[in-house]
Amino acid sequence: MRQLYFVRHGQTEWNAIHRMQGQWNSDLNQLGRDQADVNGKLLANSGIEAMFASPLDRTRQTADIINQHLAIPVSYDDRIMEWDCGDWSGHLYADVKIRWAKEWSSREADPFNYRGPNCENYPDMIERASKFLADLEQHAAMNIAVVSHGMIGKVMVSLLMGYGETAMLALSQPNDVIYRVTLDQGQANVSHFVCGDGPFAGHFVH
């Protein structure tokens, strides 16, 4: 039985003001550092043998805090970087909806397939996440933590669970939620932790 723990980075300065980060960098704020510490304590009691992380600053900072409780090597992988939001990077969501009104409307109409200006879409993220998960399947460790982001994280969980477009888009992972996917004899089950509490069956629900 293999257990994969998908950790979203703690809250950042840009998360707090609803500014698009994508593959740009923004530091954790104090709440985000506290969230990472809580998740580190949880993972310390979960038998984690290996940790992978996105190389962006916010995931590195989260992994560093978590690793104060684990003290294991961290492998950084570009394939689990966040959705590349292209020309929208660094802009407030509210401003994007005004400045790129036509493009945003097209994205709202088809959020799975539409690519904004110089942006990725979900099939792009699926392509790189699938390759990462295929490599992970060959890893010797049975309990693995993956520190990534809100969108690429739900892509990975959805791929493991066999979800289609609608379920993938609906999945949500706040900064203080960890998803655990248990793989056993060809079957996948998901549970989640909130603020270090759990596990709770199924997905996080607002």
Residues annotated catalytic, as ranges: 9, 82
Centre a 10 Å sphere on the Cβ of residue 11 and count the other Cβ atoms it contains: 22
Q: Which DSSP string do the residues of 68-92 spell out, in sequence order?
A: HHH---EEE-GGGS----GGGTTSB
Dihedral-angle region of residue 202 (phi above 0 means left; psi in -120 to 50 means alpha; beta otherwise): left
- In the chain the first and final C-alpha atoms are separated, in Å, by 29
- Report d(CA 132, CA 28) in Å as an integer: 25
- Report d(CA 88, CA 201) in Å as an integer: 35
Sequence-distant (≥ 6) Cβ neighbours of residue 122 within 8 angstroms: 111, 112, 113, 155, 165, 168, 169
> Shortest CA distance to 5 belongs to which of 156, 151, 134?
156
CB burial readout 93-122, b (16+ within 10 A) else e:
eeebbeebeebbeebeeeeeebbbeebbbb
